[in-house]
Structure 1
Amino acid sequence: MALNDCLSLFPVQALNRQQLTAGWRMAIATLGEGEDRGFARSDFDDDAWGPAEVPRLHGATAGNESVWYRVRFPRPKHRQRTLVRFEGAFLVANVWLNGRLLGSHYGYFAPFSFDVSSFLLDENVLAVCVEAPVELDLPSKRHVMGVFNDWDCKPYPNQELGKLPEQFVWHVPMGLWRPVMLEQVGHVVAEWIHCVPRVEISDMARLELRMRLRNLDGRIMTGELGIRVSPDNFTGAAALEMKRAIRLNGHEVQDITVELALPHPQLWWPWAHGEPALYLAEVQVMADDRSSASIRQTFGIRDISLKTRAEGWIFAVNGRDIFMRGANYCSEFFLDAATDEILSQDLTLAREANMDMLRVHAHIEPASLYEAADRRGLLLWQDLPLIFSYVHRADARSGAFFREAVLAQLEEVVHMLYNHPSVACYAAHNEPPWCAGFAWLGERHVEQLNRDVDEEAAARLRQLDPSRPALSASGDRDRHLYHGWYYGQWQDLAIQNPVFVSEVGAQ
């Protein structure tokens, strides 16, 4: 089975949505146990299972690395297509409807969907197995979770693994941590939409709307796109509207680009340098003479660059050099606890501390963080969920799986974050073993394997999103300073002369 055997529809676009909240039941199991016992069968008796709260994360421990869910729901009362959409499952999800395997998804942060229109009954049973393997040989880990399966701050330092009393069990998050939705859509949907603005002269900008459409039906579909672009958080500019005819063959996936002129563009600025102006792009997809999908996407007009000079790195926004003041950031170890209110409060604290940038450290945050950062004018340095060593002394199959998992997840990161002006840059891998300061394993082939994947990831990030700088690592040319934390005294910071500090700790 493919790593991701599902629909990847990143923008919310349903004509109607119903969240599945009531009636969930769950059971914790060992890896592989549930299928052997028939947990996915529609006639399985789950009365002995406990009630489940969805969304919610649980802690996976060695030997208890999967959680099974079951819920019943009636056939939706509409005549269009029905999708089951998972907003987030940590880490591997396998999904069945009425005993039929729909597919799977790997990765904790991206939404994924299944078209269940042909499999619905009057009464339906949805079964989901979510797995989060617990890897105790941390240098040899192959699963891509970032800070959630190897970190010196979770929930105790990784160097203490196996040294603490029995009650300190090493665990990783596991479960359905974002809502599960039933969605009504038409035959044509959008996999992703990229808003690509560029200023040509001071009073004129060009906006390219790039989108990938998918025909879920086997028949030819004709229709049109209705596009409207208007100010979102400012006034004074008239809305722009246009239409574009579409035609897709049965099950065709088609890339479309639409270009509009934006007179008198308002630029997005970090909060200390101007206003974070946002636009709203609305796309209505018509197919088969009816509404098929409806998308609302905010974006900002801004240019960002990174000058990596020997005397010091400089970020420039809209041509203006900015000395970045900031901190590393991780909201919660169990991300379901990171409510919109908590994330908003954290960004308020960052601004009150006069920070320009937060580094989202080796993980991906809930979508509301990026939306709030757009509106607050805070820049984000975005890491991929990669940290320290992977596949040390592992076989070729594990190395190939690691590479495939990295490349699949980075594409999801780009499509999720492309339209957020707050996202300033990407870094593929935090403190990999090939960086001079972290090459403690002392094995050249391990360093090279990690480096090959990291450099391929950075190149792919630049290809998918040329609007942002992409680094193969953090801790390579930029500096992580821990004088007074892991070594030396905090006073030693006064004599350092780093080109750019992206991580620091002292006590």
Structure 2
Amino acid sequence: MIIDLAGTWECSTGDGPWAPIELPCSWWLAGLDPIGPVEFRRPIRIPDDWAGHGVRLEFDGVDYAAAVHLDGEPIGAHIGGFAPFTVDVPAGSGEHELTVVVTVPRDEYGTAFPHTKHALRGVFGHHDARPGGWGPRGQERSSGGVWGGVRLRRLDAYTISGLGFSCSLTGADARVVATPAVELRGDRPKWATVGLTLTDPCDGSVRDLFTETWLEPGVNHLEISGIVAQPHLWWTWDHGEPHRYDLTVWIDDGAGRTELDRRPVGLREIRRDSGWVWRLNGRPVFLRGSNYIGSQWLSELTTERVDGDVALAVAANLNMLRVHAHVTVPGAATTHVLATDARRVLQAGPMRLPEGTYRIEAVLAGPDGATLSTNFFRFEVTP
């Protein structure tokens, strides 16, 4: 069960009265361009029937540093303008006040800015297409704020906190690999079957893949793989149709299947051979692309806007878009993925890392230099 917290909040820059603001919103679009932190607050109510369940706050995106308080007490923090994050809520049912303090650091011009910046904000921290460019005003009209959705989620026994999906072709068949991150609440391990179902909308055929495993309390990183025989493949608009399957991730602990996630996926493989020929599903393809920055203020990057931009790219004879020097996750990224998939356009990210597992540490420090929180990010790169 989810409670959407989008709507009217109150905000204050610390030196003025509280004023209403509609969230999510990049604060420049609401007429703000602060130097220091901005506080956002609103009342929330945790339902009585959530008793006995965990409660979690989900943030789709806050730019840049966020400190989260409940009833005046700190309960979590996060650094980074793009990645979604969660905060567990320690309170019980009833009325509470939620406060989010957001800060976007500004570097001193001529020393740190523009060449030795401290914040990892991509094109939103410094870019020649930003208002002010490389000059003394290059950090104005900030992209800061609670730009993504905010929700309260009741935690049941199982929750999916991440899902990777990849595909490789072997002859006429496809090998798919899914890497769900399944969280188990409680203090005892559980034996369960975790699986995925791929349904082909063309003919209604269904392919089930699964793994049987012990789940430990906390987050379990799993891998589910298998062969899909003679699949309908995804193609760019100049080579075919953008066929997509309906993917469902489920779990069965002996009490029947429970759905954890559902989304469309395309089965495709793109590779570059030794002669620098790019191949989509084994077929040579001439890539014609462009960088894409949908907006300098991510809260206005709606589904309709992204779909219109991708349609313009197709009309310009492009078959690839590169999300340039930023990450739009999850709302804007999902919007972009679905729009490019539906319009039959390839998408590319801003960097390529060698295959492997990576761990990044970010530390949020208070005004006195004391550590407020340390965040660890784990991600995997597959071929």
TM-score (norm 1): 0.63
User: Could you tell me which of 126, 130, 154 is aligned with 1:154?
Assistant: 130
- Residue 302 of structure 1: aligned partner: 268
Asked if 1:182 corresponds to 2:152, the answer is: yes
More strand by share: 2
Contact kept in structure 1, 2:189 and 2:216, CA below 8 Å: yes
- Counterpart residue number, 1:390: none
Look up the match of 1:10.
Answer: none
Aligned residue identity for 1:268: W
Give, in whole Å, the separation in 2 of the partners of 1:308 and 1:127: 54
Distance 1:20 1:111 in 2: 15
1:123 aligns with 2:95: yes
Equivalent residues in 2 for 1:85-100, closer than 5 Å: 85-100=58-73
Aligned positions of 1:63-142 closer than 5 A: 64-76=35-47, 77-79=49-51, 80-116=53-89, 118-135=90-107, 136=109, 137-142=113-118
Q: Among all aligned residue pairs of Structure 1 and Structure 2, give the percentage whose two residues are the same amino acid.
A: 25
Structure 2 matches for 1:286-325, cutoff 5 A?
A: 286=252, 294-307=260-273, 313-325=276-288
Contact 1:277 1:300 in 2 (8 A): yes
Partner secondary structure for residue 68 of structure 2: strand
Distance 1:49 1:63, change over 3 A: closer
Map 1:102-251 to 2 at 5 A: 102-116=75-89, 118-135=90-107, 136=109, 137-158=113-134, 160-161=135-136, 170-202=140-172, 204-231=173-200, 234-241=201-208, 244-251=211-218
Structure 2 Cα separation of the partners of residues 268 and 207 of structure 1: 14
| Gap runs ≥5 in structure 2 | 353-364, 366-374
- In the other structure, the counterpart of 2:223 is 257
Distance 1:283 1:466, change over 3 A: closer
Q: How far is the alpha carbon of 1:245 from its aligned partner?
A: 4.0
CA distances 1:456-499 after superposition (whole Å, capped 9, x unpaired): xxxxxxxx3232xxxxxxxxxxxxxxxxxxxxxxxxxxxxxxxx
Q: Which residue in the other structure is 1:465 paired with? A: 381
Please report how far the alpha carbon of residue 29 of structure 1 lies from its aligned counterpart in structure 2 after TM superposition. Answer: 4.0
Residues 222 and 74 of structure 1: is their aligned pair in 2 closer, same or farther, counting only changes over 3 Å?
farther
Q: Which amino acid aligns with 1:19?
A: D
3-state DSSP of counterpart to 2:317: coil
- Residue 63 of structure 1: CA displacement? 6.3
Instruction: State the Cα distance separating 1:197 from its structure 2 match.
Output: 2.5
Higher helix residue share: 1
* More displaced 10-residue stretch of structure 1: 53-62 or 348-357: 53-62
For residues 51-94 of structure 1, give each alpha carbon's deviation from its aligned partner in whole angstroms, at most 9, with x where no partner exists.
Answer: 12110111499862321111111112334332211111111111
Q: 1:271 deviation in Å?
A: 1.1
Distance 2:261 2:351 in 1: 26
In structure 1, distance between residues paired with 2:337 and 2:214: 34
The Cα of 1:268 is off from its aligned counterpart by 1.3
Kindly tell me the number of residue pairs found equivalent between the two proteins: 350
Contact kept in structure 1, 2:184 and 2:217, CA below 8 Å: yes
C-alpha contact 2:175 2:227 (8 A) present in aligned 1: yes
* Cα distance in 1, alignment partners of residues 59 and 170 from structure 2: 40
Let me know the Cα RMSD of the aligned residues: 3.0
The answer to whether the 8 A contact 2:210-2:224 is kept is: no
The within-5 A match list for 1:279-358 is 279-286=245-252, 294-307=260-273, 313-358=276-321
- CA change 1:292–1:241 in 2 (3 A) is closer
Residue by residue, what CA displacement relative to the aligned partner does 1:431-454 show, whole Å, maximum 9, x if unpaired? Answer: xxxxxxxxxxxxxxxxxxxxxxxx
One-letter code aligned to 1:161: P
Cα–Cα, structure 1 residues 81 and 319, in superposed 2: closer, same or farther, change >3 Å? same
Contact conserved, 1:187 with 1:287, CA < 8 A, in 2?
no
Q: Where does the alignment leave 5 or more consecutive residues of structure 1 unmatched? A: 1-15, 31-45, 163-167, 386-397, 399-406, 413-463, 468-507
Structure 2 CA distance for partners of 1:296 and 1:169, relative to 1, 3 Å: closer
Q: Is the 8 A contact 1:358 1:381 kept in 2?
A: yes
Q: Work out the CA distance in 1 between the residues paired with 2:67 and 2:159.
A: 23
Q: CA separation of 1:242/1:329 partners in 2, compared to 1, >3 Å: closer, same or farther?
A: closer
Distance in 2 (alpha carbons) for counterparts of 1:19 and 1:149: 29
Moved more, 293-302 or 348-357: 293-302
Contact 1:74-1:123 within 8 A present in 2 as well: yes
Report deviation, 1:338: 1.4
Q: Structure 2: how far apart are the matches of 1:155 and 1:287?
A: 54
Displacement, 1:238?
0.7
SS at match of 2:304: helix
Residues 466 and 245 (structure 1 numbering): CA distance in 2 closer, same or farther, change over 3 Å?
closer
1:21 maps to what in 2? Answer: 6
The whole-number CA distance in structure 2 between the counterparts of 1:196 and 1:61 is: 41
Give yes or no for contact 1:27–1:49 (8 Å, CA) kept in 2: yes
- The letter for the 1-side match of 2:316 is A
Match among 382, 403, 406 for residue 349 of structure 2: 382
- Look up the match of 1:424: none
8 Å CA contact retained: 1:186, 1:293: no
Return closer, same or farther for 1:273/1:23 CA change in 2, 3 Å cut-off. closer
> Quick one: structure 1 residues 286 and 103, their matched pair in 2 at CA, closer, same or farther if it must change by over 3 Å?
farther
Which AA in structure 2 matches 1:348?
A
Contact 1:215–1:249 (CA under 8 A) maintained in structure 2? yes
Over 3 Å counting, the alpha-carbon distance change for 1:225 and 1:64 in structure 2 is same
Q: Which amino acid aligns with 1:151?
A: H
1:232-264 superposed Cα distances (whole Å, 9 cap, x missing partner):
xx402511235644432333x322222333122
Q: Could you tell me which amino acid in structure 1 is paired with residue 206 of structure 2?
A: A
CA shift in 2, pair 1:93/1:22, >3 Å:
same
Partner SS state of residue 177, structure 2: strand
CA contact (8 A) 2:190 2:253 kept: yes
Which residue of 365, 369, 374 maps to 2:336?
Answer: 369
Larger Rg over CA atoms? 1
Q: State whether residues 23 and 72 of structure 1, in contact with CA within 8 Å, keep that contact through their aligned partners in structure 2.
A: no
